[in-house]
Amino acid sequence: MSAVPARPTFEHHREALGVGEAAPRISWRTTAPAGWAPAGYELEVTRDGAVASTGRVASPDSVLLDWPWEPLRSREAADVRVRVWGEGEQEPSPWSEPSTVEAGLLHPQDWAALAVGPAWAEEADSDRRPPLLRREFSLDRPVRSARLHATAHGVFRLEVNGRRVGTDELAPGWTVYGERLRCSTHDVTDLLRTGSNAIGSWLADGWYRGRLGFHGGHRNLYGTDLALIAQLHVVFEDGSEQVIATDGEWRAGFGPILFTGLYEGEHYDARALPRGWSEPGFDDAAWSPVRTAPAGAERFVAPQGPPVRCTEELLPVGVEAKGNGRFLLDFGQNAAGRLRIRVRGEEGRTVTLTHAEVLQDGELYTRPLRGAESRDTYTLAGVGVEEWEPAFTIHGFRYAQVEGWPAATIEPGDVVFRVLHTDMERTGEFSCSDPLVERLHENVVWSTRSNFVDIPTDCPQRDERLGWTGDIQVFAPTAAFLYDCSGFLASWLRDVEAEQLEDGTVPWYVPVIPGDFWTPPKPGAVWGDVAVLTPWTLYERTGDTGVLAAQYDSARRWVDLVERLAGPGRLWDTGVQLGDWLDPAAPPESPADARTDRYLVATAYFAWSARHLAETARVLGRDDDAQRYAALADEVREAFLAAHLREDGLLSSDAQTAYALAIRFGLLSGEQQRTAGARLAELVREAGGRIATGFAGTPVICDALTQTGHLEEAYLLLLERGCPSWLYPVTMGATTIWERWDSMLPDGTVNPGEMTSFNHYALGAVADWLHRVVAGLAPDEPGYRSILFHPRPGGGLTSASARHLTPYGTASIEWTLQGGEFAVTVQVPTGATGRLVLPDGTTQRVLSGTHRFTSGVLAADPVG
């Protein structure tokens, strides 16, 4: 077998239809025999029937290579394939399968569409009943291909000739609409026909003008002008074209949705569905003309990541009949999504669905939802079996109550949990010999899925679901292992920059909802540091320097701001700081009152961000900046030590988070580091392994212990089951990561704090340590071009494994410890190399292929 390159991919797109990059970067993975090393490639493109090639390029690279040809034009498609040469090889590999990249509408002037919507929605407190929009058109020749480009003010769903377009949910997602409004592109060739056609759209408030945020929230955040902007490009068999765009010909009417809101839920009356409304021939005489306005195409952007979709369906694991048409359903898993029902009953009957994450005293417990009602209702048309799922709302829940059910039982398939989130590719797995740790990891995966819903949210259930910057800042390394979230986060980081204030302040959450305590935003550490640290995480995990370049200005403006705030003393000791948010010792109503001084946290983060900014500048070849910020980082470190390191080697906050940050952020040297490590380990032992860290300390404490030679204490923390600890929620039956260490108290009641979610990923950031340290799989060079395999068994575990789809291919590690014998198998993908550090400290370099080692000794030749 020789090398076989897989079909190329473009940027971070899962589906490269309607891309916004005129010169999309190209990557591919290669499968080849063990030890094969790439030395060259040839890329070939076919566009407009003409073929062009790069010829043989002498380079071992295969990740995010610059587009080597003329940029794509709007709507242009190109087929790209690749072949490769190995070191010393004269003959190339066979060509890969080709893959197609197709540009969307790249320029504002490509848009002929107007923004069209119902005139009645204009008023701020107008009737919130969602409209339907429609228009007919005819095509007089056979269609070769057709693309529908669309976006909306609000959320939308399109139909052509009675059939739904695509499977995206909650499109266009949530961006800073005034500056960035995302447009999607769909292939609708198969939905069209010669003759009469119709196109229709559902429209609803969504983030654009629905209620958002806590304490009652805000409406009409971006405007009141609910509108669809769509443009259908038809190419006929004979090469001619026709464009059907939203214009004054469209008509608006009411549909069956009486009300829908992201928090509130959806109310649907099936009797009010105008049957056939998105098909030709429907009588829309009673509908109104639409109001039209310019589309504002200069703010349109193409998606960088995948859309939200239903990715899985869950069936109830428990159905309890409560009498009188009332049932309590347990889906066995907390997640984000909504229910689909299948029901037969009399016309006019209403089925009500209520959602909650937990039960208390055998009933739904909805207090933690605060102002999010999370209730859907369906009123039957009475036309046989009716199937319904809400379209424009989403809930975070495990349990549901069904009321008004017409039958005596709920049969399998009658009520299904449709799990919804951004449809990212799963790239990481972990397992180990302790089932509780495995469940902890599974809970991290579910909290990732539940909170990657177009933006990285804090939680999926209550009246927030906001892009809290601190949460994703600490969690991004874990997420980037589990899922390919590079396009998703790169897009959201553009919004971070869009919302960044003139002076560099990064908001607490993005997009911003103005007008409460958190706005205008004030700068705060950990949260604001997302501007520097999250682009770096993406670079480290994918090798993408593009995200560093795109975010450089935003990152620098953040560090410059903190530098000004800290002043010549280099200590950031002012302002609103949430510090080690949710330290378990903080009172429930005051989560920022942690054991570690909030300003110690702020200065430690200042040093860490300055250091990363210097590194970013170095990677980007900005040498002056690299030097300047490295010097700044050194000065902040000095200032930190002068202010916080006492004579006896202890820190001014003698608390776990303080030591963990100082160690992990490289603020200590030699002896200082040893003393801090020893004290940290001592504090962990004194606490009996119970957790004593919040948002700032939790992601770093196990690494800090590992790094200072206290692996045993790291395992003590990991394996503790009492409250608070990582495994405590697992012992309480948790299926997701909780916001608080004790979101549910040991007596089974819900924490009385007004902020109590059961689905927040931040405290699950320990999974990154599980991957890198327990299993032992980490990037050694950006994008895993070199992979560090450094398993550190402990805590009585007898095995662990991790697997990650790197930009080069799958890397994996699997170790066992039996009868004192340690055995490990590692897999290095083609194009990468590995560095294996065995528990006894011996180091081996390994080439691509599969290798097995026992007790630190190479057992045999590579097996794969």
Given the rule CB under 6 A, which residues bind ligand BGC? 458-459, 464, 468, 470-471, 578, 581, 755, 760
In whole angstroms, give the CA distance from residue 358 to residue 744. 9
When CB distances to ligand BGC are compared, the closest residue is: 458
In whole angstroms, give the CA distance from residue 817 to residue 432. 11
Mode of pairing for the β-strands spanning 99-103 and 17-19 = parallel
Q: Which is nearer to ligand BGC, 609 or 708 (CB)?
A: 609
Show contacts of 369-372: CB within 8 Å, 24+ apart: 369/461, 369/462, 369/463, 370/214, 370/462, 370/463, 370/754, 371/214, 371/215, 371/216, 371/217, 371/263, 371/462, 371/463, 372/263, 372/264, 372/461, 372/462, 372/463
Q: Which is nearer to ligand BGC, 470 or 776 (CB)?
A: 470
In whole angstroms, give the CA distance from residue 454 to residue 521. 22
Least separation, in Å, of the C-beta of 459 and ligand BGC? 6
Least separation, in Å, of the C-beta of 466 and ligand BGC? 7
Intra-chain end-to-end CA distance of the chain, in Å:
12
Q: Which is nearer to ligand BGC, 290 or 755 (CB)?
A: 755
Q: Which of 464, 499, 563, 720 is catalytic?
A: 464
Least separation, in Å, of the C-beta of 532 and ligand BGC? 18
Residue 419 neighbours by CB under 8 Å, 6+ apart? 310, 311, 312, 313, 314, 335, 336, 337, 449
Asked if 686 is an active-site residue, the reply is no
Q: Are 343 and 405 in contact (CB under 8 A)?
A: yes
Q: Which is nearer to ligand BGC, 244 or 766 (CB)?
A: 766
In whole angstroms, give the CA distance from residue 545 to residue 539. 6
Residue 156 neighbours by CB under 8 Å, 6+ apart? 150, 171, 172, 201, 202, 203, 204, 228
Q: Which is nearer to ligand BGC, 278 or 447 (CB)?
A: 447
In whole angstroms, give the CA distance from residue 177 to residue 86. 47
Least separation, in Å, of the C-beta of 143 and ligand BGC? 49
Work out the number of other CB atoms within 10 angstroms of the CB of residue 595: 21
Cis check: omega of the bond before 591, within 30 degrees of 0: no
Least separation, in Å, of the C-beta of 367 and ligand BGC? 15
Q: Extract the tokens encoding 427.
A: 């790239």
Least separation, in Å, of the C-beta of 578 and ligand BGC? 5
Q: Which is nearer to ligand BGC, 266 or 597 (CB)?
A: 597
Work out the number of other CB atoms within 10 angstroms of the CB of residue 1: 7
Q: Which of 102, 169, 264, 739 is catalytic?
A: 739
In whole angstroms, give the CA distance from residue 783 to residue 92. 25
DSSP β-bridge partners for residue 594: none
Least separation, in Å, of the C-beta of 162 and ligand BGC? 42
Q: Give the CA distances from residue 372 to residues 69, 320, 333, 518, in Å, rounded to whole numbers and listed in that order.
A: 51, 25, 20, 20
In whole angstroms, give the CA distance from residue 845 to residue 836. 6
Least separation, in Å, of the C-beta of 421 and ligand BGC? 18
Q: Which is nearer to ligand BGC, 217 or 809 (CB)?
A: 217
Nearest to 804 by CA among 276, 400, 429: 429
Q: Which is nearer to ligand BGC, 582 or 661 (CB)?
A: 582
Q: Which is nearer to ligand BGC, 543 or 579 (CB)?
A: 579
Least separation, in Å, of the C-beta of 464 and ligand BGC? 5
Count how many residues are written for the chain: 864
Q: Which is nearer to ligand BGC, 468 or 659 (CB)?
A: 468
Asked if 169 is an active-site residue, the reply is no
In whole angstroms, give the CA distance from residue 799 to residue 797. 6
Composition of the chain by helix, strand, coil, percent to 5: 25, 30, 45
In whole angstroms, give the CA distance from residue 804 to residue 370. 38
Least separation, in Å, of the C-beta of 677 and ligand BGC? 29
Q: Are 561 and 541 in contact (CB under 8 A)?
A: no
DSSP string, 614-661: HHHHHHTT-HHHHHHHHHHHHHHHHHHHHHHB-TTS-BSS-SHHHHHH
Alpha helices in 589-622 (DSSP H): 598-619
- Residue 817 gets the label, from left (phi > 0), alpha (psi -120 to 50) or beta, of beta
Least separation, in Å, of the C-beta of 491 and ligand BGC? 20
In whole angstroms, give the CA distance from residue 172 to residue 149. 11
Q: Which is nearer to ligand BGC, 274 or 694 (CB)?
A: 694
Q: Which is nearer to ligand BGC, 174 or 268 (CB)?
A: 174
In whole angstroms, give the CA distance from residue 458 to residue 129. 29
Q: At what angle do helices 656-664 and 670-686 cross, to 10 degrees?
A: 150
Alpha helices in 409-468 (DSSP H): 435-451
Q: Which amino acid is at 717?
A: L
Least separation, in Å, of the C-beta of 737 and ligand BGC? 11
Question: Which positions are annotated as active-site residues?
Answer: 464, 739
